[in-house]
Structure 1
C-alpha cells in the first residue's frame, strides 16, 4: 500500500513538473517588431514591456474592423496601449483619412512592406488581434471580431 501511495505522489510531482516545463518553454513571445505610426513615430515592442499592449491588424474595407473601433477607443480610454496596424494593401491615404474621420485616439501604424504582417506569423485575415502581456508574451491571438467582455476579463488578470 505504501508503494502505491509513493507512486501516486511521484506521478503527481512528475505531472506538475511537466506542466511547469511546458508553461516555461512554450511561451510565444511577441516579435521584436518596430511600428511606424501615421505621425512618423517609431514604436518598438521591446520598449513597451512592462505594460500590456493590444496589436490589431485591420483594414479600412473590413466591416468587422470598423465595428470594433468604438470598443478599441473605450479600451484605449481605460488605459490599454493599442497599436492598430493597417494591412499592406491598404493605401496610406485611405488609412490617414479614416483615422481622422473616426478620431482614433490610439496609435495607427502602416505596414507598407508587409514586415509586420510577416513578423506576426503572416497575418492574412482582418481583424487579427494579439494581446501581449507585461513580459512580452502573447497571451491571446484572435482572428475575427473580439468579444469585449471576454477581453476585459482577460485584462483584469494581467
Structure 2
C-alpha cells in the first residue's frame, strides 16, 4: 500500500513539473511576441515621412476670405501685366463722390486713363500717390483725362471711400461703380486694373497690377 502511494505521489509531482514547464514556456513566448510587435509599431511610427511640406501644411492658418466675389486684390511686389487691346471702349455713366455725373464718351479727342481700385487693396494704396503725381504734373499738358473708378459694390460703406480720398489728398475725379457694371464691362477681375483709351475712344492697353508715375509718363506722354 505504501509503495503505491509513493509511486502515485511521484507521478503527480512529475506531472506538476511538466505542466509548470509548459506554462512558463508559453508565457515567455507570448511576452516575446508582444515585445516584438511593440518594436514593430514603434519602428513604423518612426519611419512615417515628415517632410517640409507636411509641416508647412500643418502651420498654415485658415485664409481670410473677403466677400468680393469675382474681384481679387493684387499681390504686392509682383510686376504688372500689360495687355494690348484694340476695340471700342465701352461707354459708361457714373457719379462722382460729389454727385456729379461723368460719361466716358464725352472725352473723345482726349486720351483717357481709367483706374479701377478699392480701399481695402494694398497695391491700390501704393499706386495712388503715383497717379496723383501724374495727374498734377503731366495730365493737362499731355491731353490726358484721369478717371478713378472705385469698386463701390465691394466696399463696406461710402464713408471709407471719402476718408481714403481725403487721406491721400486725391484731386482727380473719383467715380462710384455701385453696381459693378463698369468693372464687368471692362472685364476687371483683379484690383488694381487700369485702362488706357486713345483719342478716338478705342482701348489701347489693360494694365493688371499697380502703376507708377514713370509708367504713366511713358505710356501717356505725347
TM-score (norm 2): 0.56
Post-superposition Cα deviations, 1:100-129, rounded to whole Å, max 9, x if no partner, equal: 2211100101111111111212x1211000
Which runs of structure 1 show a deviation greater than 2 angstroms over 4 or more consecutive aligned residues? 146-151
Q: Aligned partners of 1:124, 1:47: CA distance in 2, in Å?
A: 26
| Cα separation, 1, equivalents of 2:211 and 2:168 | 19
Deviations 1:42-95 (A, max 9, x none): 111110111111111001011110111111111111223211111121121111
Say if 2:113 and 2:196, in contact at 8 Å, map to a contact too.
yes
CA–CA distance in structure 2, aligned partners of residues 111 and 150 of structure 1: 25
Number of residues paired by the alignment?
A: 131
**1:148 shift after superposition:** 3.4
Structure 2 unaligned regions, length at least 5: 1-84
The 2-side partners of 1:97 and 1:55 are apart by 21
- Secondary structure at 1:142 match in 2: strand
2:92 & 2:217 partners in 1: Cα distance? 25
Structure number, greater radius of gyration: 2
Identify the residue that residue 182 of structure 2 maps to in structure 1.
116
Q: Following the alignment from structure 2 to structure 1, what is the Cα–Cα distance between the partners of residues 165 and 190?
A: 20
Give the alignment's Cα RMSD to 1 decimal. 1.5
Relative to the length of structure 1, the TM-score reads: 0.77
Residue 92 of structure 1 contacts residue 110 of structure 1 at CA under 8 Å; is this kept in 2? Answer: no
Partner of 1:152: 217
